Amino acid sequence: MTIYQDHIGIDVSKDQLDLFSIARDKAWRIANERDAIRVLLRELPPDALVVFEATSVYDKTLRRVLSRAGRPFARVNPRRAREFARATGLLAKTDRVDARMLAWLGARLDPTPTCEPSPERQHLAELLQRRNQLVEMRKQEKTRLKQVDPGPLRRDIKSLIEVLSRHIATFERAIKNLIETNTEFDRLVHTLQTAPGVGPVIAATLIAEMPELGNLDRRAVALLAGLAPIADDSGKRKGYRKISGGRPRLRRALYLAALTAKRNPAFQPFYDRLRDNGKQPKTAIIAVARKLIVTLNAMIRNNETFKQQTA
């Protein structure tokens, strides 16, 4: 267990941060702004562990200031934090109570400090996220197009689809340019794309969403991707195993890659065996996705292409 001078729990909201320090037994509040967070860091011990829940965009400023200052922090899953609160009897839920709970979670569970992606990876992730949003919007408009008769409404929908397609192409060019101008990204993309099912977008997603790729064991990489089956056994009962947690965008990309990979000779026998054993198609595809991310992790770790790895 890592020894820290203090554990600081932070409940994050849009405009403010509620904090609790175990060492000082103190609760206080600051603005959720860069300058206020920088002042806070001057007051804290250099090896204090800061613990907060993942809160989408609201914790972005906090993460970036902590990362650039080299301060250790743990960004924990909100469900894990809520389960810890229930287990310790903290049933009330206020910003101040949550800050205290997160501080004690850090002290008792010793969570692994979060590895914040580089600014380049963050920018790549933002480009991919916007590209995916536009693709989803275009998909919705294409569905609407099938539901209307020829006329002004149909022409309007087709016009919007064309606009969305142009914007998608713009973001895809920006993603391609960012990767080509970054030596590390370019090398990783070329290596990853030798694997079946991994195209430019999925390779870019892997780079943006999993900076740990190549530095984890097979179990850890599957857990991080949300593709490891969780046991649910008790006594003689063998419960149904299901996946949980992980990084949703990464899991979604790997599932799409597995739809193609399951037809490749390297994965098809594995997929067919699962289906012959009675597994549902979706369950078998998830198993292929898990096998694929384990393979990709080994490829990056060993600096090998897919053919070299499978050989």
The whole-angstrom distance between residue 269's C-alpha and the CA centroid of its chain comes to 30
Residues 200-229, mean pLDDT to the nearest whole number = 89
Residues 286 and 255: beta-carbon distance below 8 Å: yes
Check residue 311 and give its pLDDT: 57
| CATH top-level class of 7-109 | alpha beta
The Cα–Cα gap between 293 and 223 comes to: 10
Confidence band (pLDDT; 50, 70, 90) for 236?
low
- Per cent of the chain over pLDDT 70 is 94
Domain locations along the chain: 7-109, 119-181, 200-310
- For the chain, the straight-line distance linking the first and the last C-alpha, in angstroms and rounded, comes to 40
Helix (H, G, I), strand (E, B) or coil at 22: coil
Check residue 114 and give its pLDDT: 85
The Cα–Cα gap between 110 and 283 comes to: 33
Check residue 134 and give its pLDDT: 97
Amino acid at 249: R
Amino acid at 244: S
Residues 104-124, mean pLDDT to the nearest whole number = 89
Amino acid at 203: A
Q: Provide the β-strand partners of residue 7.
A: 49
Q: pLDDT tens for residues 172-198?
A: 999 999 999 999 999 999 999 999 999
Check residue 79 and give its pLDDT: 86
Mean pLDDT of the chain: 91
Helix (H, G, I), strand (E, B) or coil at 252: helix
Residues 280-302, mean pLDDT to the nearest whole number = 94
